[in-house]
Amino acid sequence: MSEKKKFTIEYEIKSSPRILFSFLSEPNGLSQWFADEVSIRDHVYTFTWDDESQKAKLCSVKENKSVRFKWLDDDAQYYFEMEIMQDELTNDVALAITDFAVEDTITERKQIWDNSIDYLISVLGA
């Protein structure tokens, strides 16, 4: 299996960190933009897309700041994280996504995130 590379992408989002956070951490919020269906049990989230499920453990959460998930079927060092950043001067809010992908699929993964975040922005009405 080829090694995955870490990548980070940032999106400007016109939303309060508190509202945005609920879309990153709660099954109800996540199912509105990230997956077709999301359920949670014992800190393990089940994400479903087109009848295919993947399980991820919520390994860290900082209230109104960030969530980090680890896919259960992936190597221990890989995760994906969604971090809310707010500029202290302008109060502009950005969402930073950190993820891992095999080198030749990074562009594709970024495209998937771009589409998902576009959808999130439309759901937020931001």
Could you tell me if 7 and 99 are in contact, meaning their C-beta atoms sit under 8 angstroms apart? yes
How does the average pLDDT of the chain come out, rounded?
95
Cα dihedral 30→110→4→7 (10° resolution): -90
Q: Tell me the per-residue pLDDT of 45-93, one tens digit each, with 9 for 90 and over.
A: 999 999 999 999 999 999 999 999 999 999 989 999 999 999 999 999 9
Rounded to 5°, the CA angle 18-19-25 comes to 85
Query: 36-46 burial, b for 16+ CB within 10 Å, e for fewer?
Result: eebeeeeeebb
Query: Would you state the structure tokens that stand for residue 82, as one six-digit string?
Result: 């969604």
Is the CATH number of domain 4-124 1.10.150.120?
A: no
Residue 1 pLDDT > 80, yes or no?
no
Determine the average pLDDT of the residues in 18-32: 96
Note the pLDDT of residue 76.
85
All structural domains of the chain with their residue ranges: 4-124
Specify which residues 37 forms β-bridges with. Answer: 48
| pLDDT band with cut points at 50, 70 and 90 for residue 99 | very high
Find out whether 47 and 62 touch, Cβ atoms under 8 Å: no
- Pick from 76, 77, 60: which is nearest to 25 by CA? 60
